Chain A
């Protein structure tokens, strides 16, 4: 099917095409293959990909919309291709960023030099709800407070920028692998010819990372993945990863803390657990320390952690480093700890906690995206250009009532990539979430989850709000 009707808009970077409509060099092979396929081939392929997700039960439930039942994340069968040089740039930048953020976490929970040196104002940290006082004085093995990170990147005509650092319990990696499996099965020829770099060994890298983080003296650690349970929207991923790791998938009720050690209840008795890859938020992880009404966590878990008898990956309290106020300081954090210039740029950010930031935000609401500092998942934000006057007025009141809770950013011209929409190629805005692992070294698979804003013109890529996903092909040198 040809791309004649495909619209290229110069204000948006197109992932497949130059402005003159010719395919970018690293997309030539895929472009030719797609052009040779008929409309029927493509719709059949799309159907097969979708079917495979249903059959394998790669589904999720949207909070607040449980009645709608299980959904799959809509998968677009047209991959997004990245040239090797582009990927190397991203990879180096992500490594740099995560090293700096881990140093920041170690510092902020210990000497807090960065505050003493005036790089970050005290109140930014003090007011951050994700700063966990209970973690003061603790260190993470190999400095890996964040062992698993899922950074959101976007591309504009000016290059890649980091939109968010997801440092708590980032998800989506199972979709990355499932999408790869489904798409490569349907585009076998071009996949082989392109020598696309593999992402399916992610589980092995994660296992190596978690093994790195075993408590001292434990040579063959028992690893468990802690899930909130089957009703969590990411449960498929938890199950998938437990399998990849050959680890037990445990819920809070399966674990017991005794004498400062963590045990899981097995059919032959209690068995000690050394490393917990936890997919439960800080708030719920230990009712004795955090939310007392949590049934998802394990009483005494933080005590065992503090004693160094169990590793939690990621460590509690990492949310302070992906708070949206702190985000604005990440370039300074990189310069402060590494004495390097940031490789990946931030998005310009205005902090409403600062008078000038607040004034600018309120004066330009129509042109800005405003977000809650602790928000995620695309919830609770205002997209100025897509909002009504009434919505802006209401949102302005919220900001004025609690300015510290908000930041604003310019609306980005997110890049677009061809997607199969109603059996036609149409451009849609996309982002990119690579997954970075940090044990005693940085490990990263080439690629990530490419999220798509499926509604025409929309910039919201979150799966809970109508976003989809597509495969990312990183080509070799």
Chain B
């Protein structure tokens, strides 16, 4: 497959996955705005901004005190995170970039995938926050999330299982590892700083990972942060747990053939293996879990970079004579 096409598929998948996380975060936030205490709402904003490593409007520092979020308007923040194109992490930006990538590699994906993505983008492209704010922002996010899920489902149902499929899946899983890990780190960081055990915030974190029911069934309805962390990091039954996402990444990478340089290809697979080992064998015994999560994030970024070096942007070292 053409390197550029593989790269396009990979990034299309990543942007769509990112849009999904943003949608889930904003869905929870839009519900919190209705009846949750101000501190919880502030925590929600800070979690989002810290996770995407961006400072919100109004000169507030993402990692500053929670009280700072009193200074800014929920309307403006929602708009910035949903519709503002200048914010590369807004849902619309993610969808737009996902679609731009999809447009370039349309011939490599199914018609149904393109149509699912294109129609949803066209549906929300001209929507303004004023159109949804007074009615029901949470319904908007629910519908949007359903459309993004539909895109993913359509891909699973229709995409040809060639290399493109494996790059699509790698993109999804690496984004899950990176975004998921950022969220967990943020949660720990904010919690450590504020020194509060914000049960509601851990509960909402479970919801973001689609793991609330699983937690209740596995443990109890009582929230214990360490158990939540364990579940979200290592329970492979949770579709978006870090370990599952890493294992699936490894699996997809092994389905891909070697890139032109065997050494880089080997390094890529070893790194994925090391990441899995970190979560599987180190995590249970380590007390410095923040550090492990930071290590996971570093490894996952290296994984992205090595993937690019292996398949997309490898150095041109001449052509073997046998090929001529």
The residues of A with any CB-CB pair to B shorter than 8 Å are 54-57, 230, 235, 239-240, 242-243, 248-251, 253-254, 256, 258-259, 261, 263-270, 272
Contacts and interface: CB of A to CB of B under 8 A. Distances in A.
B281 to A, nearest CB: 31
Contacts of A254: 2-4
Contacts, number: 77
B107 interface: yes
A230 B100 contact: yes
Nearest to B164: A267
A54 B258 CA distance: 39
Given A230-B104, A251-B4, A267-B167, 6 more contacts: A239-B104, A248-B5, A249-B2, A249-B5, A267-B256, A267-B311
14 contacts: A57-B106, A57-B114, A230-B104, A239-B103, A239-B104, A242-B107, A250-B4, A259-B324, A265-B2, A265-B314, A267-B259, A267-B312, A268-B260, A272-B324
Given A248-B2, A261-B324, A243 B118 contact: no
Nearest to A269: B260
Given A55-B118, A230-B104, A267 B6 contact: yes
A46 B107 CA distance: 27
A239 B2 CA distance: 14
Contacts of B260: 268-270
B254 interface: no
B75 interface: no
A34 to B, nearest CB: 29
Contacts of A243: 106-107
Contacts of A239: 103-104, 106-107
A207 to B, nearest CB: 14
A239 B167 CA distance: 20
A242 B163 CA distance: 17
A268 B115 contact: no
A263 B319 contact: yes
Contacts of A268: 257-260
A265 B318 CA distance: 12
Contacts of A235: 103
A142 B188 CA distance: 70
B1 interface: yes
B324 A56 contact: no
Closest 5 CB pairs of A and B: A269-B260, A243-B107, A267-B311, A265-B3, A242-B107
B2 A250 contact: yes
A56 B115 contact: yes
Given A57-B114, A57-B118, A272-B323, A265 B104 contact: no
Contacts of B3: 254, 265-267
Nearest to A57: B118
Given A56-B118, A268-B258, A253 B4 contact: yes
Given A254-B2, A258-B319, A265-B2, A54 B122 contact: yes
Contacts of B319: 258-259, 261, 263, 270
Contacts of B104: 230, 239
A258 B318 contact: yes
A267 B163 contact: yes
A196 to B, nearest CB: 23
Contacts of A56: 111, 114-115, 118
Interface string B97-125: 00010011011000100110011001000
A55 B122 CA distance: 8
A55 B115 contact: yes
Contacts of A256: 316
A270 B118 CA distance: 32
A264 B2 contact: yes
A54 B6 CA distance: 26
Contacts of B118: 55-57
B189 to A, nearest CB: 37
A250 B111 CA distance: 20
Contacts of B258: 268
A239 B256 CA distance: 25
Among A56, A256, A270, the most chain B Cβ lie within 10 Å of the Cβ of: A270
Contacts of A54: 122
Contacts of B312: 267
Contacts of B318: 258
A242 B107 CA distance: 7
B312 to A, nearest CB: 8
A55, A240, A242, A266, most chain B CB atoms within 10 A: A266
A220 to B, nearest CB: 15
A272 B103 CA distance: 25
B91 to A, nearest CB: 19
Contacts of A263: 319
Nearest to B122: A54
B158 to A, nearest CB: 14
Contacts of A267: 1-3, 6, 163, 167, 256-257, 259, 311-312
Interface centre among A230, A261, A263 (most CB of B within 10 A): A230
Contacts of B256: 267
Contacts of B314: 265
Interface in B266-320: 311-312, 314, 316, 318-319
A57 B260 CA distance: 35
A254 B4 CA distance: 7
A248 B2 CA distance: 7
Identify which of B4, B100, B103, B119 gathers the most chain A CB atoms within 10 Å of its CB.
Answer: B4
A266 B100 contact: no
Nearest to A238: B107
A265 to B, nearest CB: 5
A55 B4 contact: no
A247 B163 CA distance: 15
Interface string B80-106: 000000000000000000001001101
Contacts of A253: 4
A269 B103 contact: no
Nearest to A235: B103
B107 A249 contact: yes
A54 B257 CA distance: 37
B2 A266 contact: yes
